[in-house]
Structure 1
Amino acid sequence: MPSTSKNFTAPSVPALNRESLRPDCSNCFALCCTALGFSRTIDFAVDKPAGTPCQNLAPDFSCTIHDSLRPRGFRGCTVFDCFGAGQNVSQNLFGGISWKASPESAKRMFPAFEIVRQLHEMLWYLTEAGTRTFDPDTSHQVDQLRRTIESAMTDARQVLSLNLGDLHARVRSVLMDVSEEVRASYLATGDDHLDIEFTPGADLMGRKLRSRPMCGANLRGAYLIAADLRDCDLSGADLLGADLRDARFEGADLSKALYLTQAQLNAAQGNTSTRLPADLDSPLHWSNNSQEHTRQRTE
């Protein structure tokens, strides 16, 4: 389950309203633990069909093994982020009446949660895009899209009838425009300092990239699983959809990386010297591993 901590300062790149896009599990009917399914893998200890409660779900919608999810084989739960969709669906779209209290609502509530999560994720990226662009036209496009998405979440029926494909395409176009603008500010002298392999969707699994120049790199959708990015400066690097599972970021600067999410950080490795955007939290397992990572920095 994602962290519900509210103790964070204003972001280094101020967001318009990301507070509502952070999960508040206390106001959710455990929708991530019921609506979604998962298979037994390295991330989940058991199989769970979609639409069924997790075996670790308590009657009050809390998790009975929340403090030991990783050692109990449920690492996948610790890297999931609903972007605040859970509380929106539970409290706003369904008026605070749970699927337990009204079982017939589950067939609408669960699909609505999956859609609203995607909408909230779009809002997360658009909020950042709006603060990073200097182009008034792009800023106007961002505002229009944000209003369109927010107005689409007024009731469950409207949510379930949305054309998500069209919205995804429009949002993606704007995000790519902002990415080009931001990355250009870090690549004013050209791309010569970046390796050709740093391209969208690149396979960089396990690569040793420690201290390599990464400012303004286009890593959208890249596979960085278990890559060594210690001491790298990723200012202006586009990380939209990049797979950061077990990527090492000890000593790295992610404070001005583009399109970074809490879920990506939760899947990665880092320590207290990793610089983060101020509206994202350092995962608990980073502090638990800080002594080991500090020792490894001397390698």
Structure 2
Amino acid sequence: MLHAPHAIRIGNRRLTLGVFVAAVAALAAVVAAGIAAGDAATATDFAQKNLAPSLAHPFGTDWMGRDMLLRTLAGLSTSVLVGLLAATASALIALVLGTVAALGGKRADAAVTWLIDLMMGVPHIVLLILISFALGKGFWGVAIGVAVTHWPSLARVVRAEVLQCKEAAFVSVARKLGQGPVRVATRHMLPYVLPQFIVGLILLFPHAILHEAAITFLGFGLPPEQPAIGVILSESMAYLSAGMWWLAVFPGLALVAVVLLFDAAGSNLRKLVDPHSSQD
């Protein structure tokens, strides 16, 4: 018979796994639906313009007769792809710099720590706009900008984890047994750091999506001809005063739902892998 605390831990693990699976399934569904929408998301039909939400058009249509459900799915798909690419690149930057800071000696640690403090002292959105604009905006400008600006927090976590692992007893024993630096890093340090790295990567993803949508909304991101959520929200501002509320409400809610789902998945996963919060 299971004791209550043990049963609660099992229940928490199942809940975390369920949220994570739901997030991944939602991500796959959004990307697949956005790809399937294809040209239909940009197809115009002026005979069907400015229609309120209905069974035929659940999210309504815009001033060009484009179906807003298809446009929203295509926009989310674009945002998800940018977010995945940028978050993965940013997490890898954090992994490399955090490891260098922990294992590279005092000078390397001081240099990386100074760089982290410098990056965190500048507002994300300002630096992101500057980088995106300097790179000509567009898909790659946004992706590179998000990747370059979102690594500092995770780099600090990686640095702390590697330092803690470096001083652990099992690493000292492995070295005394004659294992080389490469073997110690791959067999002991990497498995130790990997859970926190994965959690950090998942939590970077919603931030990347939000910042991509934000700078695209401001006109410094993806081009207007691309059905991105930021583009949709930006264009809808001119029509809200005419009562066409559905142009902004449904795309905005879809973006918030995806962000909250992955934020919940990352937060629950952090509780599962963090020994200090796993009992909460």
Fold match (TM-score > 0.5): no
Higher helix fraction: Structure 1 or Structure 2? 2
TM normalised by structure 2 equals: 0.30
Given the two structures, how large is their TM-score scaled by the length of structure 1?
0.29
Q: Which has the larger radius of gyration?
A: 2
